[in-house]
Chain A
Amino acid sequence: MNITTRNILEVRNLKKYFPITGGILSRVVNSVKAVDNISFHIKTGETLGLVGESGCGKTTASRVILRLIEPTSGNVYFDGEDIFKLRGRELHGLRKNMQIIFQDPYSSLNPRLSIGSIIAEGIGAHGLAKGRQKKEIVEGLLEKVGLSAGYYNRYPHEFSGGQRQRIAIARALSLRPRLIICDEPVSALDVSIQAQILNLLTELKKDFNLSYLFITHDLSVVEHVSDRIATMYMGEIAEIAETGEFYSSPLHPYTIALLSANLLPDPRKRKKAVILKGDVPSPISPPSGCRFHTRCPVAREICRSEWPEPKEISRSHMVRCHLVDASHPVPPIVPA
């Protein structure tokens, strides 16, 4: 693996609370803690997988990083630059470097615009090329993502889900970004198409020197593409580890439960799944102590009362659990 020390993206103590207003004067009565104090980094050329169940804040985190929504607090550094300080032209410049691929290829393309103008729009907005040159770039991108350049004047409704996702990828690439946030890019696709798109993403990563933040809930997909993986639970990061270590020796009970729920293609190897009890608690008033204690099969008294500090097991392995001893990391025994 090609490891460069430079971090393309660094997220520090990022928080996003959505206020809940009530009463005639719309006073803020409470807040949904969608993203609560998360920190991670992505090295240049790396793919960080971000997994977690629905509603855990993965998507909100990505939107805050892209500055689609304003953070409550915290910092995000892109290439060492605090992106929340950028305004106007500087922000416009940053836009070029960070792009996103959405989950739903049916709502991510404007039905009224042709494929060509969808992909060319960003190029025009950043003044990268004009007229004939612009068209050539777009056609090149279409071919790069495995579509025909002749689709330039077609409209989105004429394409299938997988083809639309390719168009969305071409659009994301049009600005020559350095980081692409893939927000569940294959979740809405058939398994056969998933493989094609994942291979395309891997190929493009090499060709365009990209880094990915790969958000998904599909553990088999994330294993395939990621260098490191982070699990999120209720707006917090539970564990971050390198992919190999993540699958071979997960430490957080939530990660263990997630991995055990993942079906393996070999029926003989199938272990008994750890079934988590109950639902995810309300993010408006998260549980005291460890967020996971209400569903954790091995929770103890300390988990209810005290909030676990993140523990660094090794340089690339962080876990947030009382039961893991940093000096002697053994995963807690989770009854199946």
Chain B
Amino acid sequence: MERTDEHTKELHLGMADEVSRFTEAWRIFRKNRPALWGMIIFIIFFIVAVVGLVLTYGNDPVLDPAKVRLSEKLLQPFSPVNTEMIRLEDKPFLNMYLLGTDDLGRDIFARMMQGAWVSLTVGFVAVGISVLIGIVLGGLAGYYGAVRITLMDVLGLIAVSVSLIFLASGQGDLSVRAFLIAGVCMIFSFAYYVFVRGRRNHKMLGFLFVDTFTVDTLIMRFVDVMLCFPSFFLILTIVAVLPASIYNIMIVIGMTSWMGTARFVRAEFLSLREQDFVSAARVMGISDASIIFRHMIPNAVAPVLVSATIGIAGAILTEAALSFLGFGVPPPHATWGNILSNGQRFLYDAPWLIYIPGLSILVVVLSFNLFGEGLRDALNPKLRKR
């Protein structure tokens, strides 16, 4: 193998510097001051939220956000504890109200710590849900977009929607019936795709299997419909119907904010589909699932990551706004939004009650946005030095 060795030596000269994509992205990101600060604040917020959860969790937490001390109400930040009035076990951490107390004498510091965890989980879970829905629907539209669905599929979809509408209006009986019809449609449709479609010169099985519109049309028009609703009012409406709980808030925010991700993913998939490495994989007989998960999604996540980071900020803001309006997480649990909401009644007597949560929301949301934008610049190949 003398020839090969010679070749290798010669070829090695042309070897590019070993710079990974991550190092490259980090180099650009580091130069972006606001983004760097955004990331630092994001990390601090993350730590605070986790510590906050640990300190405020359980029956006898170190920081008790729900402890009412009526004698100590509306105290300023850094107020010392009035040891004559309260029992020893009710004393707050450091024997001081770091961020003051509210109208019921509850420790704002403890409440803020508890609220941080709520904001963090709402942000991440809601965005997690929206990214998941966005990737699945956007991916379907991008990869299988050209497939035309049959009239049978359309009937099935209508039956499913009708079923959901009945379910929402409390008519379970009709809902089950509609769902059964949908099931029958799906079975027929499945049989059609497996046994009939794709065979050359197949005969049409009557008008029920006439091709209607494409998967792309179906999904992207649905995206357009979802975008038509003013999302905050849509969320308010849904939250008003559903029982108030932190999980419902997460799910609802997630379900109403996936459209941007879906559009991103679809666009990425459309361009990746035409890339030669995807064609090469298809020529090698790699399965669709493997092409999507190994070749397409890893190359499509960068813009999704960016929109997710900015989406977390949006979700935190939405949750705070809902809590402020009283539709959010139910009362005994503290969130930044409901601290703010409570505080507004004492705007002149206790301004810290609104400044503290208000500024916290501002800083966290701003830092997420800056972080997200920095990430977008760093991951954008056009800004890379070639």
Q: In the complex, what residues of A have CB within 8 A of residue B3's CB?
A: 146
Q: Is the CB of A160 within 8 A of B14?
A: yes
Within 8 A of B (CB), among A124-165: 125-126, 143-144, 146-148, 155, 157-160, 162-163
Give A98-127 interface residues, CB cut-off 8 Å to B: 98-100, 102-104, 107-113, 121-122, 125-126
Decide if B228 is an interface residue (CB 8 Å cutoff).
Answer: no
Least distance between A119 CB and chain B CB atoms (Å) = 10
Residue of A nearest to B16 (CB): A158
In angstroms, Cα B17 to Cα A112, docked, is 17
The answer to whether B280 touches A158 (Cβ under 8 A) is: no
Q: Give the secondary structure class of B's interface.
A: helix
Other-chain residue from B4, B21, B280, B286 in contact with A100 (beta carbon distance below 8 A): B280
Judging by beta carbons under 8 Å apart, are A125 and B283 in contact? no
**A85 proximal to B (CB < 8 A):** yes
Partner of A112, one of B1, B276, B298: B298
Cβ of B277 within 8 Å of any chain A Cβ, yes or no, is yes
Interfacial chain B residues near A96, Cβ < 8 Å:
285
Q: Which residues of A contact B11 (CB under 8 A)?
A: 146-148, 162-163
CA distance A112 to B20 in the complex (A): 10
Interface size range on B against A: 20 to 34
CB contacts (< 8 Å) of A148 on chain B: these are: 8, 11-12
Check: B71 CB closer than 8 A to any chain A CB. no
> Does A175 interact with chain B (Cβ within 8 Å)?
yes
| Residues of A contacting B199 in the complex (Cβ-Cβ under 8 angstroms) | 87
B169: interface (CB < 8 Å):
no
A293, CB-defined interface residue at 8 Å: no
- Interface size grouping (class) on chain A: 35 or more
Q: Which residues in B have their C-beta under 8 angstroms from that of A102?
A: 276, 279-280
The answer to whether A66 and B283 touch (CB under 8 A), given A146-B4, A158-B16, is yes
* Chain A residues whose CB sits within 8 angstroms of the CB of B4 once the complex forms: 143-144, 146
B277/A122 in contact, CB under 8 A: no
B285 touching A125, Cβ below 8 Å: yes
Kindly report which residue of chain B lies nearest to residue A92, judged by CB atoms. Answer: B285
Stretch of B287-295, B322-330, B339-347 at the chain-chain interface: B287-295
Contact A98 B12 (CB under 8 A): no
Complex contacts, A110 vs chain B, CB 8 Å: 277, 281, 294-295, 299
B285 x A98 contact (CB < 8 A): no
A68 at the interface (CB under 8 A from B): yes
Tell me if A111 and B299 are in contact (CB < 8 A). Answer: yes
**Chain B residues positioned under 8 Å from A171 (CB to CB):** 280, 284
Question: Are A121 and B276 touching (Cβ within 8 A)?
Answer: no
In the complex the two chains form, what is the Cα distance from A160 to B275 in whole Å? 19
Q: How far is the CA of A113 from the CA of B294 in the complex (A)?
A: 8
Complex CA distance for A200 and B319, rounded to whole angstroms: 62
Residue numbers in B under 8 Å from A157 (CB-CB): 16, 21
Distance in Å: Cβ of A182 to nearest Cβ of chain B: 13
CB-based closest 7 A-B pairs? A95-B285, A108-B276, A122-B284, A146-B7, A102-B276, A112-B298, A110-B277
Would you give 28 A-B contacts (Cβ < 8 Å), ordered by A?
Answer: A63-B279, A84-B200, A85-B200, A100-B279, A100-B280, A100-B283, A102-B276, A102-B280, A103-B276, A108-B280, A109-B277, A110-B295, A122-B284, A125-B286, A125-B287, A126-B285, A143-B1, A146-B8, A147-B7, A148-B12, A155-B20, A157-B21, A158-B16, A158-B17, A160-B16, A162-B14, A163-B11, A171-B284
Instruction: Name B's A-contacting residues (CB within 8 A).
Output: 1, 3-4, 7-8, 11-12, 14-18, 20-21, 198-200, 275-277, 279-287, 290, 294-295, 298-299
Give me the interface of A with B, judged by CB distance under 8 Å: 63, 66, 68, 84-85, 87, 91-92, 95-96, 98-100, 102-104, 107-113, 121-122, 125-126, 143-144, 146-148, 155, 157-160, 162-163, 168, 171, 174-175
Q: A63-B279, A68-B283, A157-B21 are known contacts; what are 16 more A-B pairs with Cβ within 8 Å?
A: A66-B283, A84-B200, A95-B283, A100-B283, A104-B276, A111-B21, A111-B299, A112-B298, A121-B281, A122-B286, A125-B284, A126-B284, A146-B8, A147-B7, A148-B8, A162-B14
